[in-house]
């Protein structure tokens, strides 16, 4: 899954910042986007103040062009990827010497979870203890190369946009969910610790168990919000059931579901269990045109699986994405903005 972002600035641009996401102009006047622009400009202005030879980029209008190869605002962390890529792209344009941790603090103001996406591999977002949140930063738990066989299969249930954004949803949860305090004080720290240990030990069963429990706990506090936030739907429930059946058949946890702020199921597995996870899902979902072209994995017969759950899944999944743990932001010479300043036509 990729967000590709190009940032440019020029005196020849109309005198306002613009952001074009998947060919559509976005509102950049919101506080979250403005905070990112302001902080990055401020860092550039400091550089320019200490070195008068540098071009005065900080005062020029910005143009950002960004493209996702996955559904936006559908609970697949498109905001996190988007803000991380935006911040990284502008930082590169401005030639800022900032560390990923510094940029992570800026990106977090765009979308909380964007702080993680400045890093590659396995990343933890630490809660921190300071009231101003300044120590709530992302740190690398392990590089992607530490556990290179980790895979994720995403069942895209619906690409429709969310009724409530993750960030504002979270704020209502904090304010109204009676169970939330217990989650932050006890459950999340426990899961964070268990998850870091599981990754260090490359222990898929422990990883899978805490992945599923953490997802359920998160959605429980969403449901405990008032009015309730219900991201999971019948197709999500069917995905949970099918993963449970796959694990029961294997006699251990070889697949783990997790749901972000939407109904789409992310199913983690180790490459060694590709047949038993991806093959079975391919068999179950049939030869529908939802699989990526390059999938060479043979469909397996789905035996001893809940027939009703399989039918709900078959009817409800619109696309399957196969992905893996990435390396974080990387530079590319492929620009989405042409020499004349216009977005590149594809």
Interface positions with a copy of itself (CB under 8 A): 177-179, 181-183, 186-187, 190, 209, 212-213, 216-217, 219-221, 223-228, 230, 232-234, 237, 240, 244
| Secondary structure letter of residue 278 according to DSSP | I
State in angstroms the smallest separation of the CB of 186 from a copy of itself. 7
State in angstroms the smallest separation of the CB of 247 from a copy of itself. 9
Structure tokens at 32: 């979250």
Which of residues 6 and 225 has its CB atom nearest to a copy of itself in the complex? 225
H or E element: which one contains 211? Answer: helix 204-223
Pairing of strands 18-21, 62-68: parallel
State in angstroms the smallest separation of the CB of 219 from a copy of itself. 6
Which of residues 34 and 233 has its CB atom nearest to a copy of itself in the complex? 233
Which of residues 49 and 186 has its CB atom nearest to a copy of itself in the complex? 186
State in angstroms the smallest separation of the CB of 257 from a copy of itself. 10
Cβ(271)–Cβ(153) under 8 Å? no
Residue indicated by tokens 């976005």: 26
Structure tokens at 120: 């590659």
Which of residues 216 and 274 has its CB atom nearest to a copy of itself in the complex? 216
Count how many Cα atoms sit within 13 Å of the Cα of residue 106 in the half-sphere of its side chain: 28
Which of residues 10 and 226 has its CB atom nearest to a copy of itself in the complex? 226
State in angstroms the smallest separation of the CB of 191 from a copy of itself. 9
Which of residues 83 and 231 has its CB atom nearest to a copy of itself in the complex? 231
Cβ(156)–Cβ(291) under 8 Å? no
Give the whole-angstrom CA distance, residue 87 versus residue 81: 10
Which of residues 257 and 291 has its CB atom nearest to a copy of itself in the complex? 257
Give the whole-angstrom CA distance, residue 259 versus residue 75: 8
Cβ(61)–Cβ(15) under 8 Å? yes
State in angstroms the smallest separation of the CB of 34 from a copy of itself. 31
Cβ(139)–Cβ(195) under 8 Å? no
Give the whole-angstrom CA distance, residue 159 versus residue 204: 29
State in angstroms the smallest separation of the CB of 217 from a copy of itself. 5
């Amino acid at each position: 899954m990729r967000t590709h972002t190009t940032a440019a600035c020029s005196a020849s641009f109309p005198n306002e910042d613009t952001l074009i996401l998947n060919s559509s102009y976005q509102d950049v006047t919101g506080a979250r986007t403005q905070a990112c622009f302001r902080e990055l400009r401020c860092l550039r202005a400091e550089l320019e103040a200490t070195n008068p030879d540098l071009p005065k980029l900080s005062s020029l209008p910005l143009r950002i062009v960004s493209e996702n190869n996955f559904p936006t605002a559908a609970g697949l962390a498109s905001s996190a990827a988007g803000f991380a890529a935006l911040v990284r792209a502008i930082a590169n344009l401005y030639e800022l010497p900032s560390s990923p941790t510094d940029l992570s603090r800026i990106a977090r103001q765009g979308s909380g979870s964007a702080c993680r996406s400045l890093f590659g591999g396995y990343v933890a977002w630490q809660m921190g203890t300071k009231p101003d949140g300044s120590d709530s930063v992302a740190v690398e738990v392990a590089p992607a190369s530490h556990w290179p066989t980790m895979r994720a299969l995403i069942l895209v249930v619906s690409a429709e946009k969310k009724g409530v954004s993750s960030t504002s949803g979270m704020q209502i949860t904090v304010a109204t969910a009676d169970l939330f305090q217990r989650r932050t004080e006890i459950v999340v720290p426990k899961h964070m610790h268990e998850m870091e240990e599981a990754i260090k030990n490359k222990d898929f069963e422990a990883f899978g168990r805490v992945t599923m429990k953490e997802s359920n706990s998160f959605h429980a506090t969403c449901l405990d919000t008032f009015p309730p936030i219900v991201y999971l739907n019948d197709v999500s429930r069917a995905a949970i059931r099918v993963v449970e059946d796959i694990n029961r058949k294997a006699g251990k946890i070889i697949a783990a579901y997790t749901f972000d702020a939407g109904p789409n199921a992310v199913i983690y597995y180790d490459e060694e269990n590709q047949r038993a996870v991806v093959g079975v899902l391919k068999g179950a979902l049939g030869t529908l045109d939802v699989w990526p072209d390059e999938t060479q994995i043979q469909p397996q017969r789905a035996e001893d699986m809940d027939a009703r759950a399989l039918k709900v899944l078959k009817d409800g999944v619109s696309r399957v994405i196969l992905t893996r743990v990435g390396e974080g932001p990387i530079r590319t010479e492929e620009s989405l903005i042409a020499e004349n300043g216009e977005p590149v036509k594809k």
